[in-house]
Amino acid sequence: MYLAKEKKQEIFEKYGKGKNDTGSTEGQIALFTYRISHLSEHLKKNRQDYNTERSLVMLVGKRRSLLDYLMKKDIMRYRAIVKELGLRK
């Protein structure tokens, strides 16, 4: 698999509350962002990989749902994660 256990822990440690905190909203958003960028690069090389394209669309939807939840729950945390990940310009 393209995502090693150490890389996941690094993402959760940086954006979550700790390396074992896999349930935090910020950690999940960061993980989805990493996976989305990986799948986007794959699709640039393999344009007709429709299963990956569908997976990418579903992942973007999940991330959007988490971002909407975080925006309703705590706008400051939303703004911080969006700025840190560079999702908006």
Instruction: Give me the CATH number covering residue 27.
Output: 1.10.287.10
Instruction: Give the phi and the psi of residue 25 in degrees, each rounded to 5.
Output: -60, -45
**pLDDT above 70 for 4:** yes
Domain that holds residue 25: 5-85
Count structural domains, the chain: 1
Q: What angle do CA 80, 27, 43 make, to 5 degrees?
A: 100
Cα(8)–Cα(3) distance, rounded to whole angstroms? 7
Cα(45)–Cα(49) distance, rounded to whole angstroms? 9
Q: Quick one: average pLDDT of 69-76? A: 96
pLDDT digits (tens, 9 = 90+) for 9-40: 999 999 988 878 888 999 999 999 999 999 99
**pLDDT above 70 for 89:** no
What's the half-sphere exposure (Cβ side, CA atoms, 13 Å) at 27?
17
